[in-house]
Amino acid sequence: MNEKLLSEAAAIFQRDGVVLLPGVFRENLPALRAGVERNIREPGRYTRGYTPEGRPGRFFGDYCNWQRIPEFEDFIRNSPAAAIAGRLMGSASVRIFHEHVLVKEPGTEQPTPWHHDQPYYSVHGDLNISFWIPLDAVSRDTCPEFIAGSQAWGRWFLPRRFNGIDYDFPEENYEPIPDFEAERERYTIRGWDLQPGDAIAFHFRTVHSAPANLSGRRRRGFAVRWLGDDARWAARSGEVSPPFPELHEVLRDGDELNVAQFPVVWRVPAGDQAEQAPRK
């Protein structure tokens, strides 16, 4: 992205918690598509199938495979994604949190329920961002949807699994998730017609959902989550996602994330640090 477009996108992201980045990863499409197909052929330990038995279509999900799928690791380390994430967040450094593959095959009836991500993530901090990158053309009626400004509400909602069942966090004061679908007219809901290689960038607290895929084409999404300077480990009272079971005995609440799972992959060039405005 050129400097003018990047500055404009950063302002929208900080205001709305979500922004469209048209065409930014078009050159990365062949490798990402190959990586997603490899992931489907060789699923990881966290793979999920969200489609009930006997129902049409297929909703496939998997995450935390970037260290074993070369196409994903190359994108994380060598694409412009981390630098763009740093500029949008206003962070001087960027860590990878995890990647997430979400595929809804044609005819899949399962919507992704309204939710936001940070309540079930094992991280504290306001400097964070996710990219959702479509690998196929996505029409507005099958595009993930985002409630603009919801990242700034100061509200944390009880997480809901993609199968519609709530998580259990007994020690967190989370609100039940409202019925946003029934009150759509009250909110500014963002969604777009997308082309392969576009990206939707959104904050971990931005409320979002995704429709069923009743179209005749695949909806392959590659998501990658990034952490900024203020990221710290969060010891939550319920099941987190991703689980990172190997870290719960290593990290305590509030610890810095200096572990191999979350390497720093970008730092602002020394001469540009004065221009890197912190996120408010």
In order of their start, the domains of the chain are: 3-262 (2.60.120.620)
Report the pLDDT value the prediction gives residue 137, as an integer from 0 to 100. 97
Question: Looking at the predicted structure, is the pLDDT value of residue 192 above 80?
Answer: yes
Q: How confident is the model at residue 105 (pLDDT cuts 50, 70, 90)?
A: very high
Which H or E run contains 119? none
223 forms beta bridges with: 100, 132
Contacts of 142 (CB under 8 A, 6+ apart): 104, 210, 211, 212, 213, 214, 215, 219
Alpha-carbon gap, residue 41 to 49, rounded angstroms: 13
Summarize pLDDT for 109-135 with one digit per residue, the tens.
999 999 999 999 999 999 999 999 999
Question: Looking at the predicted structure, is the pLDDT value of residue 175 above 60?
Answer: yes
Chain-centroid distance, C-alpha 191: 15
Query: What is the three-class DSSP state of 264?
Result: strand
Overall average pLDDT of the 224-228 stretch: 98
Question: Looking at the predicted structure, is the pLDDT value of residue 162 above 90?
Answer: no
Tell me, yes or no, if the pTM score tops 0.85.
yes
Report the pLDDT value the prediction gives residue 262, as an integer from 0 to 100. 98
Summarize pLDDT for 247-266 with one digit per residue, the tens.
999 999 999 999 999 999 99
Of 166 and 23, more confident? 23
Question: Looking at the predicted structure, is the pLDDT value of residue 277 above 80?
Answer: no
